Chains A and B, each alone.
Chain A
């Protein structure tokens, strides 16, 4: 059976990887984008994901881990469906980033890198997310919420919960 036939990924992503490894002079240049896309689809970099990426590029799983462990935005454990990343770098810190982070901790009952029991939310304290002009800012998956106050935290969480309920009832 070919590697493609045993893939963990959706046909679209598999096709994207096939194109990606051919795009660069060296196949392993495709490694970091592949890790990001795989994490977006699967949720985290499982052993199976790492093995398949290694196979697709033609390097060892150890090589993949060497690179992946360097980057804090790549994870090896599942995150919540909504991964809340709170910036506490200088601009956000000065404008109340830590207050927001504390509020999230309180409301979700989890700490840094924690996941709620229902698997819906996870929380991370992160470095600069490039939204200093609108500090303090957070990022939930790929959505930004900026110029926040700690009062808005409940509304943000409620919004995602109701979105989830709607999606569930459909």
Chain B
């Protein structure tokens, strides 16, 4: 739209014609109050707070519905307007209880702020207030009816934003009330978005209500630990007897890639951190064969001694929830200190094939922000609504606001089909890849296939999102088709918070960081002296070898092979097993040494979501006794007699040895701009071997594709990455050199086992998260048929 010029409070403003006045004003810092207006949702004009005076218009106008046009003149603050707003507040306060001192929203309540500003302190209404008891609508959503100001935000968020339509408004006039779809309870996705948008304390969170006040908490922005979408989450932490306790999770400043969004897992699923079964002391199996608490020193010394004795016969299993720095350090530790290539992680997507092929053509990987703004998206496999709630949210939002065309192909019906321009039911994903590439016979006679392919062929700019169903040859076929066309970008879905990052960091038995080969990567080989160059065993083979005592030691970091592979009790007892985990998992129960590890909410570093966006993880909670995997690795290396400086490039060349607090304690969510600038420009000294940022420097130097936009990263934003070739791809080398040849990648087993996460399931963590268990049981009770699937 063409720009127009208009006047607000005597200032000349310019904005695109048709923009809402309230948005145009907010963009230049003129704050117009509003309860019902919420950016991105439909307009309600219910609250009358945003009234402004427009020249030549007899009555006050609502800024949330007035579109700007050339030459308009507005006044947004005047005694007349203040009086109108005050009157609105008096009406709202007519039945609003004065329970601010106990209300969850107290201190961050929009009604409180407005009352403070416009001063409707005295009520002219003599009628008694209509009190209603608060209602529990679900384990996590509570409704306090008298506090409700009927702004309809929750109704619109649930319907338009979430496409759940679980909230409505019933009756009219003074009897009007927000109503849940179950009559007296909610049957929904339990995302808590209604609580988030509520401007007052009418909707409150089951996990936070009556626990704290906003000003008592520190608010730490970090990344959610559950799925691979990488939502930014702000954890409200408070001092507790054993460290820092998480009392709330939300997306307070809405600045992350998730914008307004957070799902049930991100918002409510943090109680595992302070779970009763959390390990807080190292355990060592004693002479009687029982795991017995011990000190960190003794445990570390024992493990170091056993690892030294194993002399290379060690298997290392990593978790896709480690940070990038930990993933990188783990493989470096395995390769250069344990001197083994037996290292792998729980793989949930075939990133080697994905990255290998995308590295050949620049700029073909789609970050999350690109997906959220793409004009057309093809989603093959997966079920975003259940497994990738943020992706589903972004697709819905993109469809609603930008009319993005969504094309779906799936073997089963999925919820996202309601937004899809076309949906195709197929039986075989491989065949679909061949069909798209032009093999007419591949799909057989699937209804609508021809139209589907034609519509996709007509898209000039397309993002293809492949589920984990695509791997190996079928993924290669799909990518080959898309790379052969201009304007096609790709994303590959996976299941854990850092599945992509751990893969990028080379936690593979046959691939170095950046998917480089074990033999043809000069930059890394120069650094990783004495690394064995034979490929090691993969995850399953390593566990197999451990059960038959072919490995002298097995180092299990944050993963649970006994459960995932269904091993028998005592299957791992023939080898020396070290487990690092938050809980006494079935694997840990069989271990010789168990080291209590910090969860993602108790450490710092970076993670990469499945779309390749790197984000900062900041330490929020603190549980006494546990240590981050990063620190454990450094301590193990130290105890094995290794100069830790070869592992973590910390300190200046002259050798500064003091830890000056660089291990990153809990810090405020707001960015310290000075520190951000220093860190981004590499001027902050890394004085401690426990400083993950020292390893981030090494990652940036050695991992292709990880040249990050540091100022954005450290300021708390996402920094996109693109798969790239290794540094030995000289000017004369062909594209993709420095990489494993594609043929050999496709020959090997991809080892991908998706965990099928769902709204309340997050492998390895949801079992330990009471609120997620409760929500799952609650929804199962409401929908027994769906639960039986």
Contact = CB atoms under 8 A, between A and B. Distances in A.
Interface string B167-190: 111111000000111000000000
A63 B170 CA distance: 9
A24 interface: no
Interface in A47-64: 60-63
Given A60-B181, A61-B181, A66 B168 contact: yes
Contacts of B179: 62, 65-66
Contacts of A60: 165, 181
Contacts of A66: 168-170, 179
A70 B181 CA distance: 16
Describe B's contact surface by its main secondary structure. Answer: strand
Contacts of A69: 170-172
A60 B165 CA distance: 8
Interface residues of B, number: 11
A161 B198 CA distance: 54
B172 A63 contact: no
Contacts of A63: 165, 168
B168 A70 contact: no
Contacts, number: 25
Interface in A62-78: 62-63, 65-66, 69-70
Interface residues of A, number: 8
Contacts of A62: 165-168, 179-181
A63 B155 CA distance: 11
Contacts of B171: 69-70
Residue of A60, A62, A63 with most partner-chain B CB within 10 A: A62
A103 to B, nearest CB: 29
A60 B168 CA distance: 10
Contacts of B169: 66
Nearest to A47: B183
A38 B168 CA distance: 22
Nearest to A68: B170
A70 B172 contact: yes
Describe A's contact surface by its main secondary structure. Answer: helix
Contacts of B165: 60, 62-63
A22 B719 CA distance: 51
A2 to B, nearest CB: 19
A72 to B, nearest CB: 9
Interface string B528-543: 0000000000000000
Contacts of B172: 69-70
A62 B187 CA distance: 11
Contacts of A70: 170-172
Interface string B740-761: 0000000000000000000000
A54 to B, nearest CB: 11
Contacts of A61: 181
A60 B181 CA distance: 8
Contacts of B167: 62
Nearest to A64: B168
Given A62-B166, A62-B179, A63-B165, 19 more contacts: A60-B165, A60-B181, A61-B181, A62-B165, A62-B167, A62-B168, A62-B181, A63-B168, A65-B168, A65-B170, A65-B179, A66-B168, A66-B169, A66-B170, A66-B179, A69-B170, A69-B171, A70-B170, A70-B171
A63 B179 CA distance: 10
Contacts of B166: 62
A34 B180 CA distance: 23
B470 to A, nearest CB: 33
